[in-house]
């Protein structure tokens, strides 16, 4: 962005609520935080999330159908990370931003991942002569986004009958979603902005949309497919969440609430993998934190990984499952196992009545389930999406994407890791700015289970 456009963001101390933060006198046309926040909350946390998830699910199913032909033969793939980066990112990007965006450049998705891989060199502000490729990827991506905006504006204007424009479910073929169409107009009208600065802001959003959720889905799938008995259980749980009479359409309400092992593995994936700095700054008043206070205008940073590995809070079953390892059942409370549950023994937290009822039911029926999923008592300790007004606006969508992608992979496909004995290693080259990713390729073979 040019400096004039950046200054609007830098000088906006007004916060994201309608009422400005006391002491701030930013005029309405400079309130970047308020406008972007409002549009994200309406677009990602409102009614639109259900049809958006359905579009992602449909697109991902088609991607898998194309990638894995109907046959009893195995298809061999080099790397599960690459596979999901290609197919899941494509589904998410098309559902949110429409088909025009990725048509601007055949390599849009691969450039986005290359940009993400080198993001730390930009965060450290290395000059372009030191990392010329990174600057090129970023500029190419911004150029593609500008071309998409330009085309979407023109096509929307020429579509007088509105046949392809905004639909009642929030879909817009040119912009992907009405959220993106309205966001473009709103951002462009703000002080100091121009088409390039709006494309820059959209690049940040597009980056945030895929670069945490896709590697997290990958980690979840790897953990599932690394162990045949886990894969079988996840398949059974997922099948119980299919919409009646369908083979591959999930009832999202059931999937997000009634599949205990899948939910535990989802929560553990985020506990284990998310290593994001959550920044907070109170511009005019000191900020009370615990027994201390952060002076006005100074930045406080909370890191999710530190909270996620707090030995005083988390259960390791007497050291059998250290916090730097992945324990699929960590979030399951089993009435027959004193060492179960996410909280360290001795850490008491009153459970809600629904959870208590489920546990009672389980102990009476000696049910085959491994336990009752719970995150209760973990406020401030399990914070993969941050918290408060600025908590990740994509959190509902992220959960649905991770659960449905894993459910779909295990129901529709048979996946075998080619080297299951070697545990996948993860590293944190982007500590503070994202999630852990595997440092090695995860080769696998795959074939269709459901042949249609």
Give contact residues for ligand HEM (rule: CB under 6 A).
37, 40, 44, 205, 208-209, 212-213, 216, 270, 274, 276, 278, 384-387, 390-394, 397-398
- Shortest spacing between CB 376 and ligand HEM, in angstroms: 20
Q: What angle do CA 171, 172, 175 make, to 5 degrees?
A: 125
Contacts of 54 (CB under 8 A, 6+ apart): none
Which of 230, 237, 231, 239 lies closest to 258, judged by CA?
A: 237
Q: Which is nearer to ligand HEM, 207 or 239 (CB)?
A: 207
Question: 340: exposed, middle or buried (C-beta count within 10 Å: 0-12, 13-18, 19+)?
Answer: buried
Give the containing element (helix H, strand E) for 188.
helix 178-188
Distance in angstroms (rounded) separating the CA atoms of residues 305 and 431: 9
User: Minimum CB separation from ligand HEM for residue 279, in Å?
Assistant: 7
Closest C-alpha to 409, from 281, 225, 244, 270: 225
Q: What's the closest the beta carbon of residue 139 comes to ligand HEM, in angstroms?
A: 22
Question: Could you tell me the smallest distance in angstroms from the CB atom of residue 119 to ligand HEM?
Answer: 14
Could you tell me the smallest distance in angstroms from the CB atom of residue 170 to ligand HEM? 13
- 135 vs 426, which CB is nearer to ligand HEM? 426
Name the residue among 11, 211, 240 with its Cα closest to residue 115.
Answer: 211
Residue nearer to ligand HEM on the CB measure, 177 or 315 = 177
Smallest separation, CB 138 to ligand HEM (Å): 18
Quick one: 212 or 374, whose CB is closer to ligand HEM?
Answer: 212
Cβ proximity to ligand HEM, 37 vs 196, nearer residue: 37
- With respect to ligand HEM, which residue has the nearer C-beta, 209 or 410? 209
What phi and psi values does residue 177 have, to the nearest 5 degrees? -140, 155
Which residues make beta-bridge pairs with 444? 77, 417
Report which secondary-structure segment, H or E, holds 77: strand 75-77
- CB of 397 vs ligand HEM, minimal distance in Å: 5
Query: Cβ of residue 56: shortest distance to ligand HEM, in angstroms?
Result: 10
Nearer to ligand HEM, 267 or 417 (CB): 267
* Beta carbon of residue 304, minimum distance to ligand HEM (angstroms, whole number): 6
Closest CB to ligand HEM among 262 and 276?
A: 276
User: Scanning the structure block, which residue is given the tokens 């990638």?
Assistant: 67
Q: How far apart are CA 397 and CA 91, in angstroms?
A: 13
Min dist CB 445 to ligand HEM, Å, is 27
Nearer Cβ to ligand HEM, position 44 or 405?
44
Residue pair 326/223 in contact by the 8 Å Cβ criterion = yes
Distance of closest approach, residue 303 Cβ to ligand HEM, in angstroms: 10
Q: Is-contact 146 202, C-beta < 8 A?
A: no
| DSSP string across 94-143 | HHHH-HHHHHT-TTHHHHHHHHHHTHHHHHTT--TTTSHHHHHHHHHHHH
**CA torsion sign, 258 to 260 to 266 to 268?**
positive
The residue among 273 and 342 lying less far from ligand HEM, judged by its C-beta, is 273
CA–chain centroid gap for 92, Å, is 10
Cα 426 to Cα 406: distance, rounded to the nearest angstrom: 19
The smaller minimum CB distance to ligand HEM, of residues 390 and 445, is found at 390
Query: Which of 89, 40, 434, 3 has its CA nearest to residue 202?
Result: 40
Helices 395-412 + 213-225 axis angle, to 10 = 30
């Amino acid at each position: 962005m040019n400096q004039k456009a950046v200054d609007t963001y830098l000088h906006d101390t007004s916060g994201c609520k309608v009422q400005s933060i006391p002491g701030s006198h930013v005029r309405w046309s400079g309130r970047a935080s308020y406008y972007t926040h409002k549009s994200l909350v309406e677009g990602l946390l409102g009614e639109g999330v259900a049809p958006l998830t359905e579009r992602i699910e449909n697109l991902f199913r088609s991607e898998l159908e194309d990638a894995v032909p109907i046959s009893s033969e195995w298809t061999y793939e080099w790397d599960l990370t690459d596979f999901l980066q290609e197919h899941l990112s494509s589904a998410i990007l098309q559902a949110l931003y429409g088909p025009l965006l990725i048509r601007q450049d055949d390599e849009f998705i691969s450039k986005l991942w290359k940009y993400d891989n080198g993001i730390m060199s930009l965060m450290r502000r290395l000059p372009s002569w030191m990392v010329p490729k990174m600057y090129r990827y970023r500029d190419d991506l911004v150029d593609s986004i500008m071309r998409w905006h330009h085309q979407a504006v023109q096509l929307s204007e020429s579509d007088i009958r509105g046949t392809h424009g905004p639909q009642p479910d929030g879909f817009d073929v040119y912009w992907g979603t009405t959220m993106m169409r309205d966001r473009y107009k709103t951002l462009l009208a703000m002080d100091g902005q121009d088409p390039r600065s709006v494309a820059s802001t959209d690049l940040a959003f597009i980056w945030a949309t895929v670069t945490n959720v896709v590697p997290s889905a990958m980690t979840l799938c790897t953990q599932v497919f690394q162990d045949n008995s886990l894969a079988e259980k996840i398949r059974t749980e997922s099948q119980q969440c299919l919409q009646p009479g369908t083979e591959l359409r999930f009832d999202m309400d059931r999937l997000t609430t009634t599949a205990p092992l899948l939910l535990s593995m989802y929560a553990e994936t985020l506990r284990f993998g998310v290593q994001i700095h959550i920044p907070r700054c109170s511009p005019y008043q000191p900020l009370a934190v615990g027994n201390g206070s952060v002076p006005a205008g100074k930045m406080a940073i909370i890191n999710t990984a530190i909270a996620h590995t707090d030995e005083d809070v988390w259960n390791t079953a007497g050291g059998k499952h250290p916090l730097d390892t992945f324990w699929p059942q960590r979030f399951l409370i089993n009435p027959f196992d004193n060492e179960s549950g996410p909280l360290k023994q001795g850490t008491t937290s009153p459970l809600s009545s629904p959870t208590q009822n489920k546990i009672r039911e389980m102990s009476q029926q000696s049910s085959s389930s491994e336990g009752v999923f719970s995150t209760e008592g973990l406020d401030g300790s399990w914070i993969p999406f941050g918290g408060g007004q600025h908590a990740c606006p994509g959190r509902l969508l992220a959960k649905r994407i991770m659960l449905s992608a894993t459910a779909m992979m295990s129901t529709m496909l048979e996946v075998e890791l080619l080297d299951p004995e070697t545990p996948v290693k993860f590293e944190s080259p982007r500590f503070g700015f994202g999630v852990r990713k595997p440092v090695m390729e995860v080769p696998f073979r795959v074939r269709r289970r459901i042949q249609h």
